[in-house]
Chain A
Amino acid sequence: MIAEALLLSLKVTAVATVAIVVVGLALGLVMARTRFFGKSVVETLIMIPLVLPPTVVGYYLLVFLGSGGPLVEWFSLEVVFTWHAAAFASFVVGLPLMVQAGKAAIAGVDPTLENAARTLGSSEPGVFFRVTLPLARRGVLAGSVLGGARALGEFGATLMVAGSIPGRTQTMPLLIYDAVQRRDYDTANLLVLVMTGLAFFSLWAVRRLGDS
């Protein structure tokens, strides 16, 4: 049961983190390098899962992903109570951290350098991947670690959209909740230590990235 939950957590977190990094980078780039009408509103909307109660995020996701929602109605994708829903919930709550860190890191890259690359004939993706991203890598890495760690720890919204089905959608945080209810304190203690260790390591890594 512990191994299943661990594997599931890793799968959910891996998928969520890939999506967080890619979408978060794209949004961070847009936020750092463009101005448009209503930008502050868009930015606030991206950030809002950070401060909303998990139940509110969970409810929105249930409406969006659940039966009667656009995903089911338009695309016939039934993801509620599958690990896909857990990954989606993790993605939504982890994304703001990546956007924030990515935006700050990209904004910190001197546009002169990007322009120099352009005058030397680099294509726009070339500028991004060979100039901007390497220069912003610390912030981007820190953002992905934070976003990934948040994705790994996601509980509330996941419980609402994915349930807590052992072996299917029961990730480590959900298994801990379940184990405490069952008074299976051995499992709870072990998993709490694992999660604390992972969280500590993530934050420590982010600090190191910021320091040196």
Chain B
Amino acid sequence: MSRPAPRTAGPSLVRLAAVVMALVAGAALVAGAMLGCADAGAGAGAGAGEAGSSPDEPVTLTVSAASDLTLALDEIGRLYHEQTGVDVTFNYGSSGQLSQQIVAGAPVDLFFSANRRFVQELIDAGVVGEGDTALYAIGRITLWTRADSPFEIEGLTDLTDPQVKRIAIANPDHAPYGVAAREALQSAGLWEELLPRIVMAENVLQALQFADSGNADVAIVARSLSVQGDGAWVLLPEDLHSPLEQTVAVIPGSPLAEEARRFAEFVNGPVGRPVLARYGFGLPAIRGSGADR
């Protein structure tokens, strides 16, 4: 037992390499088989969004949308499903992040931005054409507090109250509603003073969640997220910020571009527009119905 293990007879690198190669080959086979099956399955099965365009299969549209649209588009998506049988899956986030994803090749059929700028970036990147876009709504911002908040917030100047410790806004770097919030505070001459108390959320929905959970005292959010909730809110004057010209873009590279165009027209049409209005969006004058060709 005391004899040391005969190291010289131990596995040579060559033998080890053989084992390793066998293992790696096995891994590659397994992975390849699983990926292959999964892809074949996706074509026929539930995740048919990217592959399936045959009319018999249920179509699922993948729509990236600014998070201020969460409530309104969920409702319009349901109405669309009832009328057409087409499923619409929404991927909500800040417009800047969503447009980045689309430029990077995210498999998205339609993009509802909260402003014009991030659609313009898609045009500049050559991902969509001018004719694939349409204005569908004008956004407004509100000052939002919980209904049980101790603060009486009537306007931006009330935010200077030292008791207001945290003010949630969406990150202006990539969220249009954050840009509007910053511009409003700048117009009121309060941005520098309040900056230490600003908490940046990833998007406007998260800004609302920060205030709704009580972790921020007040949030500057979209009117579309305020009107149906149980919070207290005041509308901020629209001349405090540049207009939120919410623009939609059909991604022409998508295999479901035609279906996407129909949904964009639905949102911008006789069914969608009243819903948008109900959530407090301003509506553009009708010029054509939906995405112009």
Contact = CB atoms under 8 A, between A and B. Distances in A.
Interface in A28-75: 29-30, 33-34, 36, 62, 66-67
Chain B contact surface mostly = helix
B133 interface: no
Contact of B101 (A34, A81, A182): A81
A152 interface: no
Given A33-B10, A67-B104, A163-B106, A15 B24 contact: no
Contacts of B89: 165-168
Contact of B26 (A22, A36, A78, A112): A22
Most buried by A among B31, B62, B206: B31
B27 A33 contact: no
B106 A80 contact: yes
Contact of B19 (A15, A115, A124, A166): A124
Contacts of A82: 107
A24 to B, nearest CB: 10
A97 B10 CA distance: 26
A125 interface: yes
Interface in A79-93: 80-84
A180 interface: yes
Contacts of B22: 125
Most buried by B among A66, A114, A115, A163: A163
A18 interface: yes
B11 A114 contact: yes
A15 B16 contact: no
A164 B38 CA distance: 19
B5 A110 contact: yes
A168 B91 CA distance: 10
Chain A contact surface mostly = helix
Contacts of A125: 18-19, 22
A22 B10 contact: no
Given A19-B31, A181-B67, A166 B24 contact: no
B257 to A, nearest CB: 17
Interface in B243-292: none
A118 B9 CA distance: 9
A140 interface: no
Nearest to A114: B11
Contact of A23 (B19, B24, B107, B202): B24
Interface string A122-135: 00110110000000
A18 B27 contact: yes
Contacts of A34: 13, 16
A209 interface: no
A26 interface: yes
A166 B27 contact: no
B105 interface: yes
A67 B72 CA distance: 33
A165 B27 contact: no
A115 B6 contact: yes
Interface in B93-148: 93, 101, 104-108
Interface of B: 5-7, 9-11, 13, 15-16, 18-20, 22-24, 26-27, 30-31, 34-35, 38, 46-47, 49, 60, 62, 67, 70, 89-93, 101, 104-108, 202-203, 205-206, 208-209, 212-213
Given A15-B34, A124-B11, 20 more contacts: A15-B31, A15-B35, A22-B30, A26-B23, A26-B27, A29-B19, A34-B13, A67-B105, A81-B106, A82-B107, A110-B5, A114-B11, A115-B9, A125-B18, A165-B62, A165-B107, A166-B90, A167-B60, A168-B47, A181-B205
Interface of A: 11, 14-15, 18-19, 22-23, 25-26, 29-30, 33-34, 36, 62, 66-67, 78, 80-84, 110-112, 114-115, 118, 124-125, 127-128, 163-168, 178, 180-183
